[in-house]
């Protein structure tokens, strides 16, 4: 490549990367994640009426309708990310699985995001799952924007909610806009800095289309005339208080994870939604570089533009499509430009792989991706080459940081109800372990299977997927252990407490399952020659 062409390509990558907004929505179930995603599609012009994503989620919309819509509108969907344009930006919404409980997959997917939107239900405040997911964002220094949703329903006082975000999550919260009224009297939002007021009128379409909107300045006397007296008083009181006691906002502090900008609105009625998306595009970071380990033990930030193509696998999924019985490895492009059929180095196996069947959508058909840029997600058919956390690149010489592993907290014994199905059972369980749904443990004699996971939900997923994809019905017996640790030292001389169990993991390392912290301490005292290493 001549210098001139190389410079041109870098410029192309720089422009593309600066337009990317790759994010995930974190929330407790029912806070409004699906509704907000749907409104993003509505406001980006991707759909004319909202309701499609919800219908798709609930199975009311046939896949073919969805595909038709995609083709018509140029949305591209992988099972992992949805890409479309919004006011000059290229939006990649990462799909954090819609399970009703906490899941490791979501955590890994978050590593591929450059920012997150935290949706909070105004009546419920910060709920458990939101807290857990926020913690992951904090650990990974992912900047978080907060959208306080359902302001059209009776909820808690906005100042209370701000205080709760700060106290429960331990982050500064800075309100960018403030609600004008709430519940039935939720009439609009005011931008605190510009004092720009958006007053909405409910439309008959109940959120399927954009609401009627009047834009005014707060000092315009007609604003006061348009809202009930008590709403005006509350608003001026709150705004004054925020001026005195509120946290200042700075884009840098937000991007460094020190402060979360807070927005109020109602995803269902669209009040405050467009203003939020506009602010999101303006504030959220573009494709950021990722840290990688170097062979000499140092770490380096891999520049998205200067480093040629590199990516890492953050998710594996098998059997997404009954017509293509194979597995897909989802990768986040971290640097450079991806071209179809590219030959790259697979760092772990030190081999060359041709990325020949990249696709951006998995439903009935696959759409081939020709190019991708930092921040994008590509799906590559995996014939067993890729594992979660693998780095691939054309430059070599570094490895992206390993993905977080989680300490299992629930354990079970699983077996097929029909012993003749053993082969399918083994195959299925191994595949699901590869995808990271569960970890497999075996009894020391290798005859019994145990599974370990972070939450009970993974066992439900396991049961469901073994049945639907491998036609194996299983019995899952929960075990009374609550923690596990690798045994450091000779397993032969280890004297376990009577209520503990020694098993081995997929790499034949000895693992001890404990019923309580007390039991673990007891084991430690009884075995001074041994030690325990966390599996997380
Ligand atoms: P999730 O993906 O976070 O689980 O939540 P989802 O968007 O599916 O929303 C959960 C429920 O809350 C839905 O009602 C949805 O319509 C409602 N909802 C979301 N945002 C708002 C809002 O701003 N105001 C009000 N009033 N409701 C909101 P549902 O009855 O469970 O489902 P549906 O039949 O309406 O689809």
CATH code for the domain of 430: 3.30.70.3280
β-sheet with 177-180: strand ranges across: 177-180, 188-191, 196-201, 212-217
In a domain, residue 350? The reply is: yes
- Same domain? For 216 and 358 the reply is no
DSSP string, 295-340: TTS-EEEEPTTTS-SEEEEEEEEE-SBTTB-SEEEEEEEEES-EET
Instruction: State in Å: Cα 121 to ligand 1 middle.
Output: 10
Mean pLDDT across 485-514: 93
Q: Is the CB of 39 under 6 A from ligand 1?
A: no
217's CB contacts (< 8 A; 6+ apart) are 195, 196, 197, 223
CATH number at residue 45: 3.40.50.300
Q: How confident is the model at residue 456 (pLDDT cuts 50, 70, 90)?
A: confident
In a domain, residue 477? The reply is: yes
The whole-number pLDDT of residue 74 equals 55
Instruction: State in Å: Cα 352 to ligand 1 middle.
Output: 47
Q: What percentage of the chain carries pLDDT values higher than 70?
A: 86
Asked if pLDDT for residue 361 goes beyond 50, the answer is no
In a domain, residue 405? The reply is: no
* 461-475 CB burial, b ≥16 within 10 A, e <16: bbbebbeebbebebe
pTM: 0.82
The whole-number pLDDT of residue 529 equals 94
- Same domain? For 360 and 495 the reply is no
- Same domain? For 169 and 310 the reply is no
Nearest CA to ligand 1 atom 4: 30
Task: Identify the domain containing residue 446 by its residue range.
Answer: 410-534
Nearest CA to ligand 1 atom 33: 54
- Same domain? For 446 and 498 the reply is yes
The whole-number pLDDT of residue 62 equals 46
Q: Is the CB of 29 under 6 A from ligand 1?
A: yes
Counted residue by residue, the chain has a size of: 536
Q: Is the CB of 52 under 6 A from ligand 1?
A: no
- Same domain? For 228 and 106 the reply is yes
Highest mean pLDDT range out of 7-16, 66-75, 211-220, 350-359? 7-16
Strand segments, DSSP code E, in 358-409 are: 358-359, 371-372, 377-382, 391-393, 399-400
Instruction: State in Å: Cα 96 to ligand 1 middle.
Output: 17
415's CB contacts (< 8 A; 6+ apart) are 425, 449, 474, 475
- Single residue among 283, 317, 335 that ends a domain in this structure: 283
Phi and psi for 20 in degrees, rounded to 5?
-70, 135
Nearest CA to ligand 1 atom 17: 32
Residue 271 near residue 108, CB atoms below 8 Å: no
Nearest CA to ligand 1 atom 24: 150
Highest mean pLDDT range out of 109-113, 232-236, 359-363, 462-466? 232-236
Nearest CA to ligand 1 atom 31: 30
Cα 410 to Cα 127: distance, rounded to the nearest angstrom: 22
Q: Within 13 A of 516's CA, how many CA atoms are on the CB side? A: 6
Q: How confident is the model at residue 161 (pLDDT cuts 50, 70, 90)?
A: very high
If 0-12 CB within 10 Å is exposed, 13-18 middle and 19+ buried, where does residue 298 land? exposed
379's CB contacts (< 8 A; 6+ apart) are 78, 79, 80, 328, 329, 330, 331, 358, 359, 360, 362
Could you tell which of 25, 26, 27, 30 is best to mutate to test the pocket of ligand 1, judged by most ligand atoms within 8 Å of the CB? 30
Mean pLDDT across 317-338: 77
Q: Is the CB of 150 under 6 A from ligand 1?
A: yes
Q: Extract the tokens encoding 149.
A: 């949703």
Nearest CA to ligand 1 atom 14: 30
Cα 511 to Cα 505: distance, rounded to the nearest angstrom: 7
Cα 198 to Cα 481: distance, rounded to the nearest angstrom: 54
In a domain, residue 7? The reply is: no
Could you tell which of 39, 268, 273 is best to mutate to test the pocket of ligand 1, judged by most ligand atoms within 8 Å of the CB? 268
Instruction: State in Å: Cα 272 to ligand 1 middle.
Output: 16
The whole-number pLDDT of residue 64 equals 45
Cα 302 to Cα 305: distance, rounded to the nearest angstrom: 9
Mean pLDDT across 347-357: 87
Q: Which atom of ligand 1 is nearest to the CA of 35?
A: 7
**The total number of structural domains that make up the chain:** 3
Q: Is the CB of 153 under 6 A from ligand 1?
A: yes
Give per-residue pLDDT as tens, 279-315.
Answer: 999 999 999 999 999 999 999 999 999 999 999 999 8
Instruction: State in Å: Cα 219 to ligand 1 middle.
Output: 34
Highest mean pLDDT range out of 145-159, 304-318, 413-427, 502-516? 145-159
- Same domain? For 492 and 380 the reply is no
Asked if pLDDT for residue 65 goes beyond 70, the answer is no
Q: Is the CB of 34 under 6 A from ligand 1?
A: yes
Nearest CA to ligand 1 atom 6: 32
Give per-residue pLDDT as tens, 171-201.
Answer: 999 999 999 999 999 999 999 999 999 999 8
Q: Which residue from 119, 121, 147, 123 is spatially nearest to 133, judged by alpha carbons?
A: 119
Q: Extract the tokens encoding 483.
A: 């923690």
Q: Which residue from 454, 478, 451 is spatially nearest to 466, judged by alpha carbons?
A: 451
Instruction: State in Å: Cα 202 to ligand 1 middle.
Output: 17
- Same domain? For 274 and 348 the reply is no
- Single residue among 225, 259, 283 that ends a domain in this structure: 283
Q: Is the CB of 268 under 6 A from ligand 1?
A: yes
403's CB contacts (< 8 A; 6+ apart) are 108, 111, 314, 388, 389
- Same domain? For 51 and 188 the reply is yes
Cα 275 to Cα 90: distance, rounded to the nearest angstrom: 17
Cα 190 to Cα 526: distance, rounded to the nearest angstrom: 64
If 0-12 CB within 10 Å is exposed, 13-18 middle and 19+ buried, where does residue 528 land? exposed
In a domain, residue 6? The reply is: no
Q: How confident is the model at residue 60 (pLDDT cuts 50, 70, 90)?
A: very low
Q: Which atom of ligand 1 is nearest to the CA of 31?
A: 3
Instruction: State in Å: Cα 57 to ligand 1 middle.
Output: 12
The whole-number pLDDT of residue 106 equals 79
Q: Which residue from 74, 91, 98 is spatially nearest to 23, judged by alpha carbons?
A: 91
Q: Is the CB of 120 under 6 A from ligand 1?
A: no
Q: Which atom of ligand 1 is nearest to the CA of 149?
A: 23
* Residue 526 to residues 313, 494, 495, 499, 533, Cα–Cα distance (Å): 42, 9, 7, 14, 16
Q: Is the CB of 30 under 6 A from ligand 1?
A: yes
Could you tell which of 35, 183, 274 is best to mutate to test the pocket of ligand 1, judged by most ligand atoms within 8 Å of the CB? 35
In a domain, residue 13? The reply is: no
Q: Is the CB of 96 under 6 A from ligand 1?
A: no
Cα 253 to Cα 123: distance, rounded to the nearest angstrom: 28
Give per-residue pLDDT as tens, 440-455.
Answer: 899 999 888 899 988 7
Determine the Cα angle at 275 with ends 270 and 276, to 5°: 85
Q: Which residue from 82, 239, 215 is spatially nearest to 159, judged by alpha carbons?
A: 239
Mean pLDDT across 133-158: 94
In a domain, residue 277? The reply is: yes
Instruction: State in Å: Cα 3 to ligand 1 middle.
Output: 53
- Same domain? For 34 and 149 the reply is yes
Element (H, E) at 474: strand 474-479
- Same domain? For 465 and 346 the reply is no
Q: Extract the tokens encoding 88.
A: 């000059």
Asked if pLDDT for residue 24 goes beyond 60, the answer is yes
Q: How confident is the model at residue 63 (pLDDT cuts 50, 70, 90)?
A: very low
Instruction: State in Å: Cα 53 to ligand 1 middle.
Output: 12
Instruction: Give the DSSP letter of residue 224.
Output: H
Asked if pLDDT for residue 404 goes beyond 90, the answer is no
Q: Which atom of ligand 1 is nearest to the CA of 25?
A: 3
If 0-12 CB within 10 Å is exposed, 13-18 middle and 19+ buried, where does residue 331 land? buried
The whole-number pLDDT of residue 202 equals 75
Q: Which residue from 168, 448, 152 is spatially nearest to 160, judged by alpha carbons?
A: 168
In a domain, residue 14? The reply is: no
Region of poorest pLDDT, from 206-220, 275-289, 298-312, 409-423: 206-220
- Same domain? For 112 and 134 the reply is yes
The whole-number pLDDT of residue 325 equals 55
Asked if pLDDT for residue 364 goes beyond 60, the answer is no
Asked if pLDDT for residue 78 goes beyond 90, the answer is no
Determine the Cα angle at 280 with ends 278 and 283, to 5°: 110
- Same domain? For 234 and 110 the reply is yes
- Single residue among 400, 420, 451 that ends a domain in this structure: 400
Mean pLDDT across 342-357: 89
């Amino acid at each position: 490549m001549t210098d001139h062409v190389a410079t041109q390509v870098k410029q192309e990558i720089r422009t593309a990367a600066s337009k990317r907004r790759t994010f995930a929505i974190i929330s407790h179930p029912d806070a409004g994640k699906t509704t907000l995603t749907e409104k993003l599609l509505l406001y980006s012009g991707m759909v004319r009426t909202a309701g499609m994503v919800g219908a798709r989620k609930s199975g009311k919309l046939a896949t073919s309708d969805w595909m038709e819509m995609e083709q018509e509108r140029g949305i591209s969907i992988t099972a992992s990310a949805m890409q479309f344009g919004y006011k000059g930006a290229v939006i990649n919404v990462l799909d954090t699985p819609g399970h009703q409980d906490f899941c490791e997959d979501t955590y890994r997917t978050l590593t591929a995001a450059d920012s997150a939107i935290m949706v909070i239900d105004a009546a419920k405040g910060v709920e458990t799952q939101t807290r857990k997911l926020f913690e992951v964002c904090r650990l990974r220094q992912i900047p978080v924007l907060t959208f306080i949703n359902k302001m059209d329903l009776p909820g808690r006082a906005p100042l209370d909610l701000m205080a709760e975000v700060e106290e429960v999550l331990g982050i500064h919260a800075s309100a960018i806009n403030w609600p004008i009224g709430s519940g039935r009297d939720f009439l609009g939002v005011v931008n605190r800095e510009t004092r720009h007021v958006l007053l909405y009128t409910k439309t008959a379409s109940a959120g399927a289309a954009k609401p009627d909107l009047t834009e005014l300045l707060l000092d315009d006397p007609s604003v006061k005339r348009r809202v009930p007296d008590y709403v005006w008083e509350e608003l001026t009181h709150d705004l004054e208080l925020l001026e005195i006691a509120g946290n200042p906002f700075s884009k840098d502090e937000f991007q460094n994870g020190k402060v979360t900008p807070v927005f109020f609105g109602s995803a269902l009625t669209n009040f405050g939604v467009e203003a939020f998306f506009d602010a999101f595009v303006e504030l959220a970071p573009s494709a950021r570089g990722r840290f990688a380990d170097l062979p000499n033990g140092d770490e380096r930030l891999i520049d998205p533009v200067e480093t040629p193509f590199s990516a890492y696998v953050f998710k594996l999924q098998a059997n997404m499509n009954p017509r293509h019985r194979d597995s897909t490895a989802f990768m986040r492009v971290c640097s450079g430009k991806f071209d179809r059929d590219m030959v790259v180095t697979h760092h772990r196996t030190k081999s060359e792989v041709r990325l020949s069947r990249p696709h951006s959508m998995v439903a009935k058909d696959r759409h081939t991706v020709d190019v991708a840029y930092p921040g994008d997600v590509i799906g590559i058919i995996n014939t067993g080459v890729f594992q979660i956390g693998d780095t691939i690149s054309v430059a070599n010489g570094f490895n992206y940081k390993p993905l977080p592993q989680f300490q299992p907290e629930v354990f079970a014994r699983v077996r097929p109800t029909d012993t003749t199905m053993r082969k399918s059972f083994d195959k299925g369980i191994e595949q699901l372990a590869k995808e990271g749904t569960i970890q497999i443990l075996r009894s020391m004699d290798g005859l019994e299977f145990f599974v370990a996971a972070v939450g009970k939900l993974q066992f439900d997923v396991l049961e469901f997927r073994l049945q639907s994809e491998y036609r194996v019905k299983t019995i899952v017996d929960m075990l009374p252990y609550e923690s596990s640790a690798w045994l450091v030292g000779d397993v032969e001389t280890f004297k376990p407490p009577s209520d503990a169990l020694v098993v081995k993991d997929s790499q034949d390392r000895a693992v001890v399952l404990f019923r309580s912290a007390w039991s673990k301490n007891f084991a430690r005292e009884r075995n001074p020659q041994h030690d325990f290493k966390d599996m997380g």
